[in-house]
Amino acid sequence: MVGGGTRDDLWWHVYPLGAVGAPIRERQGDDATGGVVHRLDRLTPWVERAAGLGLTGLQLGPVFASSTHGYDTVDHDTVDPRLGDRADLERLFAHAHGLGLRVMLDGVFNHVGAEHPLFRQALAEGPGSSAARLFRIDWSAPGGPRAATFEGHDRLVTLNHDEPAVADLVAGVMTRWLDAGADAWRLDAAYAVPPEFWSRVLPRVRSAHPDVTVIGEVIHGDYVDLVARSGLDGVTQYELWKAVWSSLTDRNLFELAWALKRHTGFVEHFRPMTFVGNHDVTRIASRVGDRGAVLALAVLMTVGGSPSVYYGDEDAYRGVKEERLGGDDAVRPVLPASPAELSALGAWMVEATRTLVGLRRRHPWLADARTEVVATANEQLTYRSVGVGADHGRTLTVELDLMAGGGDGAARITGEGESLSV
């Protein structure tokens, strides 16, 4: 494996702007004028709860100054004033570290918001300016200069990753926030950036912070080749995510069996970030129901990789992503002031999460385990996760049975002193 990272990484992923109730589009008062509103401290009791569940990392969504949803950055060196200021973020770093949690930041380096000062400078100064070299702009386009954009979103302006000054910008931002106390980076839309760009940037970052973990957001493509060419520690394992919910929904565990074979091929080369929910997708409980959410978590915690639990999934939150303006709001909700204010309706999922995270903590070798499919039927799947290297001979067996419990499904996990049914 390349780079840093630990096999104990178990992330709690939160979308801060949503979780603390910051306005995303319509702003009033200090939010409208750019005044600082200190909201980040609202995450403190939730980070404590994540640690209490046994999770070992805090994965933060965007925290830098942006125009709306956080992925349209206007200043990578300034905390979004809707969240607070630098002191607030550094206090969150320190609190997480005091609880034994590493902290991952979300780096949006494929594009910036159209209001970014460097982009405004490029348009004002024209094609010969130093700022103009940072972007891909068609200066002869009908109607005036037209910049390359991210997936057609005209408010997200793509950086020119062939330009050395862009590598300088990104390496500088990553290093400065690691200096400030961050431990890891998730690179947003890493699939849209040439892998060679990361291979130029990451050695510079690691020269100052050799233990940093860097995960790229990659939805599809050749994961192994991209990791090898970029120098990333791993990528987001969307193949496994899709197979988990799809196989449970369709009651076709052959799909999951195939994905587990693929997954093992990835784990032989790098440690993927595994998940069954994140800020961009419909909630797992909305896709597969309550019992299905438990089965999905059982898979997540028994196969190789670095698992990430999306905030609210530990309480069986529901939410459907829609393709419209504001269509992410349902999966990026505000949290109550503290866990004590939650309804008791999700308590069963909290306990299931605690149980399965506890299993994973007792067997950290699972981070690099290879998974062997033992038996497959439409509604039944048995697989075995086995240790490698110094952990050779360690084995956990997982039996998924969608017909158990009157058709609600159940999972049984045995081996290494375990006999657990969920």
Query: How far is the C-alpha of 158 from the C-alpha of 99, rounded, in Å?
Result: 38
Nearest CA to 60 among 24, 20, 12, 98?
A: 12
Helix H segments across 301-373? 347-362
Q: What is the pLDDT of residue 7?
A: 87
| pLDDT above 80 for 108 | yes
| pLDDT above 80 for 1 | no
Q: Compute how many other C-beta atoms are within 10 angstroms of the C-beta atom of residue 291.
A: 21
Q: What is the pLDDT of residue 180?
A: 98
pLDDT in tens, 22-46: 999 999 999 999 999 999 999 999 9
pLDDT band for position 6 (cuts 50, 70, 90): confident
| pLDDT above 60 for 115 | yes
Task: Using only the alpha carbons of the chain, give its radius of gyration.
Answer: 22
Q: What is the pLDDT of residue 20?
A: 98
Cβ neighbours of residue 87 closer than 8 Å, sequence gap 6 or more: none
| pLDDT above 60 for 72 | yes
Q: What is the pLDDT of residue 2?
A: 37
Q: What is the pLDDT of residue 5?
A: 65
Q: What is the pLDDT of residue 142?
A: 94
Cβ neighbours of residue 215 closer than 8 Å, sequence gap 6 or more: 104, 184, 185, 186, 187, 232, 233, 234, 235, 236, 273, 306
| pLDDT above 90 for 4 | no
pLDDT in tens, 329-360: 999 999 999 999 999 999 999 999 999 999 99
| pLDDT above 60 for 282 | yes
Q: What is the pLDDT of residue 190?
A: 97
Which residue has tokens 């400078």?
Answer: 121
The percentage of the chain sitting over the pLDDT mark of 90, rounded to a whole number, equals 97
Query: How far is the C-alpha of 293 from the C-alpha of 213, rounded, in Å?
Result: 28
Query: How far is the C-alpha of 115 from the C-alpha of 150, rounded, in Å?
Result: 15
Distance, C-alpha 54 to centroid of its chain: 18
Structure tokens given for 160: 């020119």
Which residue has tokens 């994973």?
Answer: 360
242 phi, psi to nearest 5 deg:
-65, -40
Identity of the amino acid at 286: S
Which DSSP letter does residue 83 get? T
- Nearest 5 degrees, angle CA 416-CA 417-CA 420? 105
| pLDDT above 50 for 103 | yes
Query: How far is the C-alpha of 80 from the C-alpha of 11, rounded, in Å?
Result: 22
pLDDT band for position 165 (cuts 50, 70, 90): very high
Q: What is the pLDDT of residue 110?
A: 98
Q: What is the pLDDT of residue 3?
A: 38
Handedness of CA 242, 248, 249, 251 (dihedral sign): positive
Structure tokens given for 50: 């994540």
Write down all domains in the chain, each with its CATH number in brackets.
11-113+161-364 (3.20.20.80), 114-160 (3.90.400)
Helix H segments across 9-149? 16-19, 29-33, 44-52, 86-98, 117-125
Nearest CA to 124 among 144, 152, 154, 149?
A: 144
